Structure 1
């Protein structure tokens, strides 16, 4: 858009801002596509996720147990690209696919993304009726539908067996449940935040464990997908930009009296948004000044509770000379406003929920979270608007600004929670030690940020981990010295030996004695080993162990838990299923789950020629499938 057009808007006018709907052709700006100079095959985690989708939802699959599969991947890491490849394979095999989207903007973006893969789709929304041409040709087997359109009478027009696969965008919001219940096809959900609006589990709707690519932290660091024999990882080419966190003191804004309520339509538990909006509105000038001061020249998104506060803050920003506009459901020609933002004619967009989903604007390098929330998912969705790389604009990082309100003890969801591994999964059951370590790490990282010792969130976590590991090592060293003094242990000289942390396992993963020559293991050690191994090592099995052997095994299992490596039962099961013991020892817990499921699927397919259907077999437990396989083939490998 031209500068003349910008001047004609009068940014200091209190009247509604109206932008002509048809800008000059020479000034139209395309929404940037998510390429970042990569293709799908170059991203190991996308290829791996696609393989797991193929294993769980092969051509001809039926819905299992009334549940679907869920793909979890951070914003900006290509969920839609992965899904598009899966859809293309299903369509090539003659299957019919339904894609459900929440908003019209998301529907349009989804259609453009799958068209980039050569997939033609019919539209089912408002006046567009996909049923008319559906199934009349190989290029008319894919329907992209609005969730708001497919309800009651319109939904009933579709036969329950019309589709072979269903894909659900932003599946964590559960607006699609009635639609899924109408159809019989298996379904795949896509989300960056596997939490319901009420922070509860999604296991009622999706099989657990979910199909995961990598964590936000791993994407920011650029993990290459390899866990080496010694447990270390290489970080090469970041998939997302660095995230920095700044807290802005706001002690005068007291939220302690604002009620926490649960919304009827999606069960989201959060601040009463009307009360919150009124409180934020009272401090419009302070907030606008803070945004203008801290943003510098960075293009920014600001999130507010409701339209009143969003419009007030946008106007206050204009009053102090900033180029800002409200971007809400009252905005006329939102596409025109977005074009101006991308062109640099607007620096700040102040919104409620218009910039939460389906927005891909990599240049954004500042996020202001004026609206606090107790939900981790809300924080993750908001900061996800700024995590994309943008080499074209020279963007190196994105700063998340959180206001330090008085909350009366209410814990707010933060970017620290979004990047904390495991925080988005209420179904994960970490050991007590891992849970405590994660909690301590979160608290220490927050202290580092608040004290201005570190603002890079990943670096803050790294420093916290290093400090805590050092403290724990010192604690163990002192405890060991105390035990040595108490029992007058005969030390084993390990200085001339190469200690293999997996030497205490035989070929099936069972524990063996790793040393002798001192007092026997104590009952407390045996109990701790049984707990750390999740019951795989029984006290009676190691009553002949030495004190040193027990210490070594405890240290190994503690380290494996901290680095989320496969548990003792997982390792044993993988070896039983024919997976190389060394490989089994190196896998992370979620990788072990995927490997076990993949091996299970392989055995189920091998049993099909023997009259056992894949669908019936895959619904059984791993042990049941293994025993069936052994009956026909004499082993699991």
Structure 2
């Protein structure tokens, strides 16, 4: 069992001790796929979790085998890269047992951690997996003894004067948790004391981390000889060991980061807080949470803030919105922190706001939403924050991750810049210079629109981006991906409809199959986009008639260089012809719309969709562009909307006036305000064919008595 013994203020994990049970009532373990029943008290959980009852996953066993093989081959400084939730603690505890058996059980083991929660978790797991061995903690007020077989120690405690109490020749193994810290001076001081770099030493150094790289240019290669095992986040999700995630990026318009100072590879927190901690940005975060709570029923949201002041602002914002919220910072007492976490785990608290506390070593499996309100240049930090939500839990099928991205800083790390992104999706290697250029163009074209120069501006927009540039800047948009696999994988097996729906713009089905449209109602004369799929051998001969191609027709010829594509996609910008609006019997040959090709002809539907996103932002501005996320779209339709559409349907499609009330009830109960707006847009563009399609859908819901 696991007990706490007050013997000279020692923290003992001793098999035979019978003193008072540990006062920390609940400590989450690193067992594979923890369930709610396994997250019991420290005392109870240790009863059944001995080495004979823990079943290692296949990759965990493979990791242990590779570590042992490398050590047996003569390597002494090795590292393991495994994502959060992969069970690093279980692996290194099992590895300690194997190394001790390999060394005939001679020598002590030192496990280096840098936070008390990590020490408790590591001590518990080591005791469970190393039966009969004395496990003690050397940290702050707790002092390990010379009798310990396994010492769990804080690096900070050791370097502040207590490292001299330990004879380096008594130790045969050093395990480093969160090993990406290993190049720091404090860790190097510990390694020097234990003679890790002495070529005559036989001590084994094994590091574990989810992010085996540093952001301050200090090379981990100076510490470890090789990474003997690596598995990434997507692999564990595909193997169903971790839960999937849905990723969303939202740009904070009032968060210009270009003047925020940089230190050690990331933003200086004081300057970052001044930019991010503004009422307008707080409102965006609170509004986003409330929308996600409504749309997706999220119940356990972890929020990452910049600093204590930002935590307090977010806390007040959530509280004023009537949300059950707690805040945790470095100033929060440990007992209060544990209480808040327990309340959060038990569903008593909906939102937990923190800064710099829950980035590492946090085991809260029920997290189903993460709000990243802390822009960063650190890929490690971003992955660590996302990792808080990937542990499996019976209450969720996936975790929503929302990244609130600021603007104006080069090399800003956000969700679309994570490594492994497919090159054809155009996000990998994107620089902020691309985004800044797009923003300048957006501002320029917005100003031109206000002085009624829209036609010339639209022509510039269409021709201003090359195919390569389109790939490079596509990540600027607010886009939700249905799974991490869709976001990261190089292949995409989604249907065209599913891909169209994954974008933020409210694309609508037209009356014709394989044709979607997007209306810009704010611009007059009317402008809309049409996205069309053309199957092989069915590209219309008259497609180019009256079409301004802007050179994009060349891309169709390039697609035919070797193999004829199965399906190609086009994006056209339609603008109502002013002459048509004023036509009289003498000019009835004037066409209604002027057309221009607005994106490369592509065999990938995402290329025209991304260009459509850019056009929407550029023509209307970031705040007024069409978006499915706008709150009004999910509201009930207005009486005016219902009456107008019902009148159209009754006059053009239904002759039986007695069913008008039924039709109005159907429109009111089955559709949102956004749906009816889309219906009216379809009628405005496609006239009777659009209205008949709406009538057919409404008629299918009619129940005649």
Return the TM-score normalized by structure 1.
0.58
**Where in structure 2 are the equivalents of 1:186-335 lying within 5 Å?**
186-198=204-216, 201-208=219-226, 210-222=227-239, 238-262=240-264, 269-283=265-279, 284-296=282-294, 297-298=297-298, 299-332=300-333, 333-335=336-338
**Distance in 1 between residues matched to 2:379 and 2:139, nearest whole Å:** 31
**Distance in 1 between residues matched to 2:306 and 2:61, nearest whole Å:** 39
**Distance in 1 between residues matched to 2:209 and 2:224, nearest whole Å:** 12
> Could you say what secondary structure the match of 1:128 adopts?
coil
Q: 1:459 aligns with which of 452, 461, 486?
A: 486
The 3 A distance-change label for structure 1 pair 453 and 384 is: closer
Is 1:217–1:419's contact at 8 Å kept on the other side of the alignment? no
Structure 1, residues 194-240: CA drift from partner, whole Å, max 9, x if none? Answer: 111326642111113x1224221111111xxxxxxxxxxxxxxx111
Is 2:427–2:473's contact at 8 Å kept on the other side of the alignment? no
Q: 2:163 aligns with which of 138, 150, 155?
A: 155
**Where in structure 2 are the equivalents of 1:474-493 lying within 5 Å?**
478=561
Question: Cα distance, 1:291 vs. partner?
Answer: 3.0
> Could you say what secondary structure the match of 1:253 adopts?
strand
Return the TM-score normalized by structure 2.
0.53
> With CA pairs under 8 Å and 6+ residues apart, which has the higher RCO, 1 or 2?
1
Q: 1:378 aligns with which of 368, 378, 381?
A: 381
Structure 1, residues 63-113: CA drift from partner, whole Å, max 9, x if none? Answer: 75xxx1101101111111111111012234213211111111111111112
Q: 1:122 aligns with which of 132, 136, 157?
A: 136
Is 2:78–2:224's contact at 8 Å kept on the other side of the alignment? yes
Is 2:375–2:405's contact at 8 Å kept on the other side of the alignment? no
Is 1:169–1:189's contact at 8 Å kept on the other side of the alignment? yes
**Distance in 1 between residues matched to 2:424 and 2:303, nearest whole Å:** 35
Give the strand-richer structure, 1 or 2: 2
Question: Cα distance, 1:475 vs. partner?
Answer: 7.5
Structure 1, residues 431-485: CA drift from partner, whole Å, max 9, x if none? Answer: xx99999659999698489364734232133366789xxxx9x97983799xxxx
| Alignment: residue pair count | 407
Question: Which protein has the larger Cα radius of gyration, Structure 1 or Structure 2?
Answer: 2
Q: 2:105 aligns with which of 79, 86, 94?
A: 94
**Where in structure 2 are the equivalents of 1:158-169 lying within 5 Å?**
158-169=166-177
**Distance in 1 between residues matched to 2:150 and 2:26, nearest whole Å:** 29
**Where in structure 2 are the equivalents of 1:557-596 lying within 5 Å?**
none
Is 2:363–2:388's contact at 8 Å kept on the other side of the alignment? yes
- Structure 2 residue 372 is the aligned partner of structure 1 residue 363: no
**Distance in 1 between residues matched to 2:480 and 2:323, nearest whole Å:** 30
Structure 1, residues 23-75: CA drift from partner, whole Å, max 9, x if none? Answer: xx9x96663653317986552211111111111224xx8775xxx11011011
Question: Cα distance, 1:278 vs. partner?
Answer: 1.9
Tell me whether 442-451 or 378-387 shows the greater mean CA deviation: 442-451
Is 1:302–1:349's contact at 8 Å kept on the other side of the alignment? yes
> 2:693 corresponds to which residue?
none
Is 1:342–1:361's contact at 8 Å kept on the other side of the alignment? yes
- Where does structure 2 lack aligned partners over 5 or more consecutive residues? 1-21, 36-52, 196-202, 431-467, 495-554, 565-705
- Where does structure 1 lack aligned partners over 5 or more consecutive residues? 1-24, 135-139, 223-237, 263-268, 424-432, 482-637
> 2:343 corresponds to which residue?
340
> Could you say what secondary structure the match of 2:253 adopts?
strand
Aligned CA-pair RMSD:
3.6
